[in-house]
Structure 1
Amino acid sequence: MRIVQVGLGGFGRDWAEHVIPLVPEVEVVATADLLEASRLQAIDAGLTTADRCFATVEEAIETTDADAVLVTASLVGHVPAARAALQAGRHVLIEKPFAPSVAEAKELIALAAARGLVVAVSQNYRFFPAPRAVAALVAEQTYGPLHAVGIDFRQFSGADGIASPHHALAEPLLVDMSIHHFDLIRFVLDREISGVDVRTWDPDWSMFTGPSEGCGLIECGDDLTVSYRGSWVSRGPRTTWSGEWRMDFADAEVWWTSRGDGPEGWRADEVRVRRAGRVRKLELDTGPRTDRAGSLTEFVTAIEQGRQPQTSGRDNLGSLATTYAAVESARTRRQVSVADWL
């Protein structure tokens, strides 16, 4: 599949260097970024060449006749780049968050549907062995019905005293990080999130501009509520990026964690089952592709098979709506229905 990569900032360059080469089914035939500085950095790093690096996605598509567009730009660039690609008749894979609003996400979904195209979101935390194994336990009711879930995410960002653009985000916890956990709740539990009651805050000594930690209750219908805590400024033991999950079933407790640091983050995946006083560690199937390489592979495979990807834009509306409902809940300090955001 011939693709155009749009967005050559730090994260986009990381995609170009460490992710795309892991998926030989795709060929990057052009790149694009509105900022000249980003284009020059990518060229200097050997990640693209001057003759196939453009200022706009329209130029890149017209010049190279690509099949699809990968949007790795910052959030403000997601909708304009995806809209241009879809209007040009190209499939689109977008980094998370999908769009700055649910309304804009719906616009892109409708445009893709009208033109028979795929629009998908790289919710890459789904493509790891631990959540996939636990999702199977839930679906098969291996240990009976699930009745309680607790998630704890702990990191300390800025421990080196160096601020990054990440620290200046308006919602560094909920929109930048918790969206992954909300999406995992929907995937692992195979349930939609119905309501959120969240509180967030930021210590006055932190390097963040927006709220860096929070906690809340995530309702998945009337019979299951997830307890959630997340922090970018915790002095406690660091969790993996997916956090530490404790899930109580009728016949067992399942503890799991996923996505460690680096390109082999799958090595940190672990699932332990406590049953009848004994703890057993499950063997996990790592699979051929994990992380962002997994989401890119699913995108390509779905198009080849003529189906919607697991992380289609339409499916991702639930995760996006939950995220913005959580922001509203934290702002108003009240419970918010996710349905009101869909």
Structure 2
Amino acid sequence: MRVVQVGLGGFGRNWAREVVPRVPEVEVVATADVFEGSRAAALAEGLTTEDRCFATTEEAVAATRPDAVLVTASLVGHVPATRAALEAGCHVLVEKPFAPSVAEAEELVALAERQGRVLAVSQNYRFFPAPQTVREIVADGRYGPLHGITIDFRQFSGANGVATPHHALDEPLLVDMSIHHLDLLRTVLGRDITAISCRTWDPEWSMFSGPSEGVALIESGDLVTSYRGSWVSSGERTTWAGEWRMDFAQAEVWWTSRGDGPEGWRRDEVRVRRLGEVETLTLPRVERTDRTGSLTEFATAIAEGREPHISGRDNLGTLAATYAAVEAARTGETVRVAART
């Protein structure tokens, strides 16, 4: 599949170095970025060439006529790049969150449907053995009804005294990080989030400009999840998926997922506690994890003529829940999440 990659900032260049070369089903035929500095950095790193590096999505697509566009730009560039690609008849895989509002996301989903093209969102935390195993546990009901969930996420971004671009985000916890946990919750439960109450804050000594810590009560129908997230925790670090405790009638399932680096899957673990006995489950091997998993699912779905598991249509539920959490934190009220899928 011939692909144009749009977005050559630090994260986009990481995609070009670490992800795309590990998915042989795709070939990057051109790159684009509106910022000259990002294009220059990509050229200096040997990630693109002068003849296939463009300033805009439109120029890159017109010059190469690709099958698809991979959008790895910052959030402000997601909607214009995705719209331009879809209007040109290309399939699109875009980084999360795929739009700055639910309304704009719905517009892109509708455009993709009119064009008969695949629009997918790289919710890469789904492509790990632990959440896939837990989803099966929930679906088959082997431990009886599920009646409570606790999620705890702890990292310390900026502990080394070095600020990064995400320290300047308006919602560094909810929109940059918690969106992954909300998407995992929808994935393992197989149902949407229906309401959220949330409070966020930022310690005065942190390097963040927006709220870096938060707590929330998340409703998925009659099931309630207690969530705590922190970008500035001095406690023991969790994995990026956090630590989950799921209480079933007949057992507690504890799990964690996505450690650091290309072999982050090695940190995946699922433990089942029943009658005081703890069993660590043997997890399946996931051949392509993380972002290689989302890029592979995108390419495979197009080849097979089906909707990907990470479709933009499905992701409307995750995006709506994320922005509901932002609204709940701002207003102090419980916010209902309208059904989107």
Q: TM-score under structure 2 normalisation?
A: 0.99
Superposed counterparts of 1:41-56, under 5 Å: 41-56=41-56
- Give the Cα–Cα distance (whole angstroms) in 2 for the partners of residues 149 and 100 of structure 1: 28
Structure 1 residue 286: Cα displacement: 2.2
Who is 2:34 aligned against?
34
Who is 1:125 aligned against?
125
2:196, 2:335 within 8 Å by CA — same for their partners in 1?
Answer: yes
Give secondary structure in 2 for the equivalent of 1:284.
Answer: coil
Who is 1:79 aligned against?
79
Structure 1 residue 164: Cα displacement: 1.2
1:151, 1:228 within 8 Å by CA — same for their partners in 2?
Answer: yes
- The two structures, once aligned, show a CA RMSD in angstroms of 1.0
1:73-95 deviations in Å (ceiling 9; x for gaps): 00000000000000000000000
- Give the Cα–Cα distance (whole angstroms) in 2 for the partners of residues 216 and 62 of structure 1: 46
Who is 1:5 aligned against?
5
Give secondary structure in 1 for the equivalent of 2:265.
Answer: helix
- Give the Cα–Cα distance (whole angstroms) in 1 for the partners of residues 41 and 326 of structure 2: 34
Structure 1 stretches lacking a partner, 5+ long: none
Matched, 1:319 2:307: no
Residue identity over aligned pairs, in percent, reads: 72
- Give the Cα–Cα distance (whole angstroms) in 2 for the partners of residues 294 and 32 of structure 1: 23
- Which amino acid in structure 2 is aligned with residue 43 of structure 1? L
Who is 2:179 aligned against?
179
Matched, 1:278 2:277: yes
1:325, 1:341 within 8 Å by CA — same for their partners in 2?
Answer: no
Who is 1:62 aligned against?
62
- Give the Cα–Cα distance (whole angstroms) in 2 for the partners of residues 323 and 2 of structure 1: 32
1:295-330 deviations in Å (ceiling 9; x for gaps): 000001111111110010010000000000100000
Structure 1 residue 288: Cα displacement: 1.0
Give secondary structure in 2 for the equivalent of 1:100.
Answer: coil
State the number of aligned residues.
341
Structure 1 residue 287: Cα displacement: 1.7
Structure 1 residue 334: Cα displacement: 1.0
Superposed counterparts of 1:1-342, under 5 Å: 1-221=1-221, 223-339=222-338
1:9-31 deviations in Å (ceiling 9; x for gaps): 00000000000011000000000
- Which amino acid in structure 1 is aligned with residue 103 of structure 2? A
2:317, 2:339 within 8 Å by CA — same for their partners in 1?
Answer: no
- Give the Cα–Cα distance (whole angstroms) in 2 for the partners of residues 334 and 103 of structure 1: 21
Structure 1 residue 340: Cα displacement: 8.4
- Give the Cα–Cα distance (whole angstroms) in 1 for the partners of residues 190 and 219 of structure 2: 13
1:92-124 deviations in Å (ceiling 9; x for gaps): 000000100001001111111001100010000
Give secondary structure in 1 for the equivalent of 2:89.
Answer: coil
Distance 1:341 1:114, change over 3 A: closer
- Which amino acid in structure 2 is aligned with residue 117 of structure 1? R
Give secondary structure in 2 for the equivalent of 1:211.
Answer: coil
Give secondary structure in 2 for the equivalent of 1:339.
Answer: coil
- Which amino acid in structure 2 is aligned with residue 116 of structure 1? G
Distance 1:42 1:171, change over 3 A: same
1:166-225 deviations in Å (ceiling 9; x for gaps): 11100000000000000000000111100000000001111110000000100000x210
- Give the Cα–Cα distance (whole angstroms) in 2 for the partners of residues 336 and 137 of structure 1: 29
Give secondary structure in 2 for the equivalent of 1:31.
Answer: strand
2:68, 2:90 within 8 Å by CA — same for their partners in 1?
Answer: yes
- Give the Cα–Cα distance (whole angstroms) in 2 for the partners of residues 308 and 113 of structure 1: 11
1:275-301 deviations in Å (ceiling 9; x for gaps): 121101011112210000000000011
Q: TM-score under structure 1 normalisation?
A: 0.99
- Give the Cα–Cα distance (whole angstroms) in 2 for the partners of residues 339 and 109 of structure 1: 16
Give secondary structure in 2 for the equivalent of 1:288.
Answer: coil
Structure 1 residue 154: Cα displacement: 0.2
Structure 1 residue 341: Cα displacement: 8.6
1:72, 1:95 within 8 Å by CA — same for their partners in 2?
Answer: yes
Distance 1:340 1:203, change over 3 A: farther
- Which amino acid in structure 1 is aligned with residue 250 of structure 2? D
1:8, 1:32 within 8 Å by CA — same for their partners in 2?
Answer: yes
- Give the Cα–Cα distance (whole angstroms) in 1 for the partners of residues 317 and 232 of structure 2: 28
